[in-house]
Amino acid sequence: MMKVEDKDGENTTVTNLPEALKQSDYFRNFAHTEQAFKRFDKELQAYWQDLYDKFLNISD
């Protein structure tokens, strides 16, 4: 088990790194089809991209 600090300064506990990589990869590319969510999607994609990059660095 490990803790990773997200871009907002909150700690996330990771118990399964391969699964965390898979999940963060999915969500960093997720977007709604409705344009009303564009800003929200951009913020969430940045959040998940940050975690994905950190998980990749840990896995090396």
pTM over 0.85: yes
Contact 27, 54 (CB under 8 A): no
According to the model, what pLDDT value does residue 39 have? Answer: 94
Domain ranges in the chain are 2-59
Mean pLDDT by 10 residues, the chain (60 residues): 94 96 95 93 96 93
In angstroms, the Cα distances linking 12 to 5, 16, 32, 39 are: 6, 12, 25, 24
In angstroms, the Cα distances linking 4 to 22, 25, 41, 56 are: 16, 16, 22, 12
Distance CA 14, CA 33 (A): 30
According to the model, what pLDDT value does residue 60 have? Answer: 79
